[in-house]
Structure 1
């Protein structure tokens, strides 16, 4: 009977799941798969530059296991580049547990966050406004599932745009909001709903904001910094 696979912790999440040679349709390509734990090993060792011992501790496995997973991941990526294959990051049947840095430290924290956005996806730019943002990208940090909450009604509202937007994101069950500026009334409404507020998040993509939050690089606001947005 085979030994059960030990659960591997994964802190990083791919911004894209598939890669392919330019100009060739996906249907015409042979596809090769990079495991999610292989992706994590590459991220830790080859991108962050940590040693195998540290990577093993962060993934919750042995140094030998990390070395084996890393070697296989490197071969997979090399084959995709050399042979012109489509590469897909795939969880498959691996026993993987995703974690969020702040939750791992404290044992608690919001599992869903809303980012004010100019568009519906992770690649969209963060909208610096809260109340009159085009919409909100809602990310489940446990699964990285993405939903989009349109905020068009608040954009055209004569009054109370911030409060309306706060009510919409609260109904999505989020624990934190990442945005540029929140007005006093919207700030109070979010606080009353038990939602943490992170202001000054602007100038990048939604994916950038999510990664900053996961890394613990953002500080919750204690008071509103904006006007009636």
Structure 2
């Protein structure tokens, strides 16, 4: 009985630490006023077709997912400037294979993106300029759409992210939406929903490609300083 009580107390303590760290991460992200939330799915090839088995297996490889994050992060910053990004790696639901064996789901990514300045659109970089001529499913280039600057930012951001090999042209490979300030906390919490233990932070948070300035270190203080990308 004593052993069970100790284990329960340890779980309660860990749960409180997890919630404290989640709040700290949310507070850090809110300082940058993230304006967009994206979910990236990796189940198709660039043109929207089926993946070869070897490529499909990479969707279960966390390091391969991080490589995609790195590519997209560099691309976004070349196009729009040094805006903050916050990446989380989550899994699809578990499933049963043909033999009835339970398997872990493949990865998908949650990305929170900071505000894009008007200047990035009004005076586009050489990296952004070609995206003005990108076509969506309608076949109409972005530069020919009669939309305001905020809608234009989102169209260009989507085109930028879709340049990644793992995202590409399939309509369901990317879900991108603007996030009103009053909805940020709830939206951000969704990316952290699968974090229930301290060890989960280093599996789900992509520290390397995120703009968090503090990182968890469970072996000393709760956080350690981490520089911006």
What is the TM-score normalised by the length of structure 2?
Answer: 0.22
Greater RCO structure (CA 8 Å; 6+ sep):
2
